[in-house]
Amino acid sequence: MATIQIAGKSIEVDEDGYLVNLDDWNEELANALAASEEVSMDPNRWEVVNFLREYYMEYKIAPMIRILTKEIGKKLGKEKGNTKYLYELFPGGPAKQACKIAGLPKPTGCV
Amino acid sequence: MAKADFEIPDIKNGVSVPAVKPGAMAHVKYHPASEAHLTKLGFPAKRVDNWKEVALAKMNELMGKYKSLSLFLDVCVKCGACADKCHYYLGTGDPNNMPVARQELMRKVYRKNFTLGGKLFGGLARAEDLTEEVLREWMAYFHQCSQCRRCSVFCPFGIDTAEISMAAREIMDSIGIGQKYTLEIIAKVHDTGNNLGIPKDALIGTLEFLEEDVKETTGVDVKFPLDQKGAEVMLIVPSADFFSSPHVDSLVGYAKVFHAAGISYTFSSHASEFANFGMFIGSYDNTKKIATRIADAGRDLGVKRIVVGECGHAYRVAYSFWNTLAGPFDYLDKNHSVPTHVCEFTDELLRRNALKLDKSANDEFTVTYHDSCNVARASRMGTEPGGQFEIPRNILKAVCNKYVEMDPEANREKTFCCGGGGGLLSDELLEVRVKGAAPKVSALKEVMDNQGVNTMAMICAICKAQFTKVLPYYDIPMEAVAGVHQLVSNAIQLGDK
Amino acid sequence: MGGLSLLSLVYVALSYAAAAIFVGGLMRKLWGYAVTPNPLCIPTTPSPATKGGVVARLALNIVAFADLFKGNRWTWIGGYAFHVILIAVTVRHLRLFIYPVPPLLAEIQPLALLIAMLLPLPLVYLLARRKMVDRYAWISSPADYGVLILILLIALSGLGLKFVSHSDLVGIKHFLLGLLMFSPVDMPAHPAFIIHLTLVLMLAVYFPYSKLVHAGGVFFSPTRMMVDDPRERRHINPWAAK
Amino acid sequence: MKRPAATAAALLALLAAPLFYAGCGNAKAPAPQLTKPTNATECVEPAATMRANHMNLLRHERDNIVREGDRSRKYRIEGCAQCHTKRAEFCDRCHDYAGVKPECFDCHYLP
């Protein structure tokens, strides 16, 4: 299993760089993960990441993209409640890239 | 255009047959499966010490079990008719991606260990032992085959590389070498009933969300029932439909069709997955286990019919194998095909004039149809051969005003794979996926440029996920990807009829 | 076998050995295909849903090489010409194995000769094809070239017997009938014939252990021979669920 | 394959057919029985040469002989006929045996 070094701590990640232990996650780590994905965190991106984490805490799975876009639309304004905007925030895809930064496991399947 | 750290094939003037570039794709490696997943699926946790003996014994066992494998290893005359038919060869030029050469990776081991000529005159017959080096080739190139069967269409003996790559993967699994993507997913199905690992509560939440969402946009109470005993139909869909876009739009489409038809249906939380990756690794046991889960769910819910959603390989498993794997389905109504593809279901309603449609709802789209390989070359819809081509097209023409065909040399039975099938829809294989998509994207681009197409409809969850990912590399927006029932969903008129 | 020359003794023995290996080896292979269970239902679709349809599809494939025609016209031309000419070659040789010669068979000999003579052409074409197209060169092994060259040598030695160094045809037929009837007689000690026969025996021995088994194997291919009816009929295999 | 045994038997029968057709060891291999000339003991060339090459020796340019009257050749069918008097008991025996139709008798008449 690979590890990454953040603030002097070594954190376990899987082959794709997703956290192995959700508990390792903190905001500093999220910023570092985002940087490795060439994404710089801002309030809008934090909205996405925080919602993903909240949803995951409740359901043990990342939300359907449609649920995420609707939620973001509620929070940031209707014009931003769409997949296109989410891809602007996370060019690697809201499911995979945003989940990675949120410390969630990588979604698997035909996605 | 999406950024890549590899060269994107130039498709401006179509895709021509590339010159042979030995080793061009040898560097691509999949992530190895974890010990936990290997064990869960019934394979050794790590590579066994006497792996060569075990592999050869497995190969011998499979040749005794499958006429296809034993025959295909013998009869290839290396005529090369398949050589330029594989999308991965066309996209990469790596000669080991020619179907005949891919098969040769197993055939040379077969000759060395199972034929007199290979034992006596190894060099002349290019026989080779299963060395560490050959095993590395197997790992690389049997995971650059999407098992799409395009080669088998053109083979004078019907040799199907898919059968060989499935066997190769099963042999590798049997010695404790597995691919993470596929094995992890199969493990999740066994545990949770679906590829994504969606727990029941999350599924309930998702379906409730969809009910509200559809109510908001249409004003109609379209139901997304779960575990409803006594429903007429159990609907089995790929779990990507509960998660991804544009997949979910087809899911909404199915629900609207059932609503409009007035036929009760239900999803199952026990079997919330149509996909069956067991086939990709050639594992009879795992394929059967996944299929049986679905058969059991239908029996428990007391349904009369099983209708299946838009998923290519899963439809192959359902159409061709379910009867053997999990049948007989004697609890179902024999007046309907078992299983029924959702396109067959919708088509029948269209024929009966049972759906109210407003084609103009899709007027912003000029639509073309992509034949998914496992539907096109490994299954059928309706009663006539080739129904799998006509029925989805009938539906599209019924719900869209502007419909355009792609080049038949790249579609129908000769369709090019999206490049992500067969367990290759994994990020570390992105280079293979993008390059392998080139022939199909080229056919799409042609109708986009010349006939104003802006939407490619399809009925496969892998195709949808793959194209939304790779089209941007060719400067085509991911919004060009649509499900057939997504377009049905747009056009269907709910409410009083 | 008393009274046979040493040469004849050797070739009678070699011929029987080669025939036994050819027939035995091929039977063993085909028997193996016949008794090995089918995989799950795997016809390459669109595919006939009836047995009759499957037979028709197979017939078209055998008679016209329909799938290869779809696959590659240039390969089809060479391969199809080769196999058609092989039929003419068979007709030319059949008269040497049948006694008395049926009138029709005798009648068509001149026509068959005209076609059979062309055998080297597709062989040279197929050889050049392997050498000149990079894809085919990559997949071709010495064995692939070797078998084409072997058949080419057989063709050339056969044509030599016809056009360059004529031999005692009646003696050859007598020898062949002797072999067939298990009462061998001397063979004509004609060098060109000895070479021709030797090459043919080599081909016969090689046949069952090489890609040449495609000749019988084509009748067993599950993707072509299975009926597309898995929803209507439950396919059961010995190793699969009952 | 439903009945492998039956299929195999059919294939075997097919392959063995020539053997049965030829009598399968019951008899000696048939050979043409020739009526030999009574007026001579030797042909113009040794018998072995004649067996293999008589057609080449007899092959002629029709124009040379018929139109230009060049009858100087050593090997002429009239010469054959002086000893081999009955075509049916000599020429035809071998030609029928091997399934060869000579063109000689399209022009030449031999009883």
Cβ–Cβ below 8 Å for D29 and C100 = no
Question: Could you give the ipTM of this predicted complex?
Answer: 0.90
Tell me if A90 is assigned to some domain: yes
Q: Considering CB atoms only, which of D12, D24, D26 is closest to C27?
A: D12
Cβ neighbours of B197 (radius 10 Å)? 23
Three-state DSSP class for residue A3: strand
CA distances for C76 relative to B329, B337, C1, C84, C129, angstroms: 45, 39, 47, 12, 12
Q: Which residues of B touch A96 (CB under 8 A)?
A: 427
Question: Residue A83 and residue B202: Cβ atoms within 8 Å?
Answer: no
- Nearest CA to C37 among B326, B161, D4, B317? D4
**Three state DSSP letters for chain C:** CCCCCHHHHHHHHHHHHHHHHHHHHHHHHHHHHHHCCCCCCCCCCCCCCCHHHHHHHHHHHHHHCHHHHHHCHHHHHHHHHHHHHHHHHHHHHHCCCCCCCCHHHHHCHHHHHHHHCCCHHHHHHHHHHHHHCHHHHHHCCHHHHHHHHHHHHHHHHHHHHHHCCCCCHHHHHHHHHHHHCCCCCCCCCCHHHHHHHHHHHHHHHHHHHCHHHHHHHHHHCHHHHCCCCCCCCCCCCCCCCC
The pLDDT value recorded for residue D104 is: 86
This prediction has a pTM of 0.93
Residues C51, C171, single domain; the answer is no
Same domain, C205 and C172: yes
Quote the number of domains for chain C.
2
Cβ contact (<8 Å) for B425 and A110?
yes
Assign residue A92 the CATH number of its domain: 1.10.10.370
pLDDT at B495: 75
pLDDT at D20: 52
Chain A residues lying within 8 Å of B206, measured CB to CB: 63-64, 67
User: CB-based contact (8 Å) between C235 and chain D?
Assistant: no
Looking at the fold, whether C4 and C52 belong to one and the same domain comes out as no
* Rounded Cα–Cα distance for residues A61 and A45 (Å): 19
Question: D26 vs C35: CB contact, 8 Å cut-off?
Answer: no
Give the closest of C35, C166, C177 to D29, CB-based: C177
CA distance A109 to chain B (A): 5
Residues C65, C3, single domain; the answer is no
**C208 and C173, same structural domain?**
yes
CA gap A38, C151 in Å, rounded: 63
| Residues 6 or more apart in contact with residue A42 via CB below 8 angstroms | none
Average pLDDT, consecutive stretches of 10 residues, N- to C-terminus, chain B (497 residues): 87 94 97 97 97 98 96 97 98 98 97 90 88 98 98 97 98 98 97 96 98 95 97 98 96 98 97 98 97 97 98 98 95 96 98 96 98 98 97 98 97 98 97 98 98 98 97 96 98 79
pLDDT band at D16 (very low <50, low <70, confident <90, very high): low
Q: How many domains does chain A have?
A: 1
Q: In chain D, which residue's Cα lies nearest the Cα of C179?
A: D29
How far is the C-alpha of C11 from the C-alpha of B121, rounded, in Å?
Answer: 25
- Smallest CA–CA distance, residue D91 to chain C, in Å, is 12
Nearest chain C Cα distance for residue D32, angstroms: 8
CA distance A76 to A98: 17
Q: DSSP class of residue B241?
A: G
Whether the per-residue pLDDT at D1 is higher than 50: the answer is no
Q: Cβ of A83 and B199 within 8 Å?
A: no
Q: Which of B199, B247, B464 sits opposite A59 (nearest CB)?
A: B199
Q: Are residues C54 and C1 in the same domain?
A: no
Chain A residues with beta carbon closer than 8 angstroms to that of B239: 109-110
Give pLDDT, residue D70. 74
pLDDT band at C194 (very low <50, low <70, confident <90, very high): very high
Q: Token pair of B72, please?
A: 């295909």
Closest Cα in chain B to A68: B243
Helix (H) or strand (E) holding B307: strand B305-308
Please compute the mean of the pLDDT values over residues C215-241 and round it to a whole number. Answer: 92
List the beta bridge partners of residue A2. A13
Separation of alpha carbons B332 and B344, rounded Å: 17
Q: What is the pLDDT of residue B124?
A: 83
CA distance C220 to C217: 5
Residue type, B360: S
Count of C-beta atoms within a 10 Å radius of residue C241: 15
Q: Is the pLDDT of residue C201 over 60?
A: yes
| Candidate from B396-405, C56-65, C144-153, D32-41 with smallest mean pLDDT | D32-41
Q: What is the pLDDT of residues C50-73, one digit of tens each?
A: 999 999 999 999 999 999 999 999
- On whether any CB of chain C is under 8 Å from the CB of B42, the answer is no
The phi, psi pair for B339, rounded to 5°, reads: -85, 170
Write down which chains contact chain B via at least 3 CB pairs under 8 A: A, C
- Chain B positions in Cβ-Cβ contact with residue A66 (cut-off 8 Å): 209-210, 213, 245, 248
Contact C101 D7 (CB under 8 A): no
Neighbours of chain C (3+ CB pairs under 8 A): B, D
For D24, name the nearest residue in chain C, comparing CA atoms only.
C181
Give domain status of residue D108, yes or no.
Answer: yes
Q: Is residue C118 assigned to a domain? A: no
- Residue A108 belongs to some domain of the structure: no
For residue B378, the chain C residues in CB contact (below 8 A) are 42, 44-45
**Closest residue to B157, CB basis, from C32, C144, C214:** C214
Q: Which residues on chain A are in Cβ contact (under 8 Å) with B209? A: 64, 66-67, 70
Does C196 lie in the same domain as C153?
yes
Contact between B110 and B339 (Cβ < 8 Å)? no
Which of D31, B114, B416, B45 has the alpha carbon at shortest distance from C170? D31
Is there an interface between B and C (3+ Cβ pairs < 8 A)? Answer: yes
Q: Residue D27: list chain C partners with CB under 8 A.
A: 181, 183
Same domain, yes or no: C28 and C147: yes
Binned at pLDDT 50, 70 and 90, residue D66 comes out as confident
Residue B348 is predicted with a pLDDT of 97
Chain A hits for B188, Cβ within 8 Å:
108-109
- d(CA B353, nearest CA chain A) in Å: 32
Domain of residue C193: give its range. Answer: 1-32+141-221
Question: Is D25 within the bounds of a domain?
Answer: no
What dihedral do alpha carbons C48, C53, C59, C61 form, nearest 10°?
-10
Chain C: give the shortest CA distance to residue D94, in Å.
7
DSSP state of D64: I
Per the CB < 8 A criterion, the answer to whether B97 and B86 are in contact is yes
Domain-wise residue ranges, chain B:
35-184, 193-404+453-491
Q: Once rounded to an integer, what is the mean pLDDT over residues A21-47?
A: 94
Most A CBs within 10 Å: which of B245, B478, B481, as the mutation test of the A interface?
A: B245
Q: Which residue of A has its CA nearest to B182?
A: A109
Q: Which chains have at least 3 CB atom pairs separated by less than 8 Å from chain D? A: C
Q: What is the pLDDT of residue B429?
A: 97
Residue A4, pLDDT score: 84
Is residue D19 predicted with pLDDT exceeding 80? no
Nearest chain B CA: its distance from C47 CA (Å): 6
Instruction: Give the separation between CA B375 and CA C46, rounded to whole angstroms.
Output: 10
Examine the pLDDT at D3 and tell me if it is beyond 70: no
Domain that holds residue A8: 2-101
Which domain range does residue D53 map to? 35-111
Contact state of B197 with A108 under an 8 Å Cβ cutoff? yes
Task: Report yes or no on D71 lying in a domain.
Answer: yes
Query: Is there contact between A and D if contact means ≥3 C-beta pairs under 8 Å?
Result: no
Options A37, A67, A110, A111, the catalytic residue:
A110
Residues A4, A17: contact at Cβ < 8 Å? yes
**Tokens coding B366:** 């000029």
How far apart are the C-alpha atoms of B136 and C232, rounded to whole Å?
42
Inspect the structure and tell me whether chains A and C have 3 or more CB pairs less than 8 Å apart.
no
- Kindly report the nearest CA distance between residue D99 and chain C, in angstroms: 5
Q: Is residue A107 part of a domain?
A: no
Active site residue A110: yes
- Class of B35-184 in CATH: mainly alpha
Q: Please check whether residue C78 lies inside any domain of the structure.
A: no
Q: How many helices (H) and strands (E) does chain A have?
A: 5, 2
Tokens coding C199: 């090459």
Contact A64 B469 (CB under 8 A): no
pLDDT at C1: 45
Is residue A20 a part of any domain in this protein?
A: yes
In this complex, do B197 and A96 lie within 8 Å of one another by their Cβ atoms? no
Which residues, at least 6 apart from B109, have a Cβ–Cβ distance to it below 8 Å? B56, B59, B127, B128, B129, B130, B134
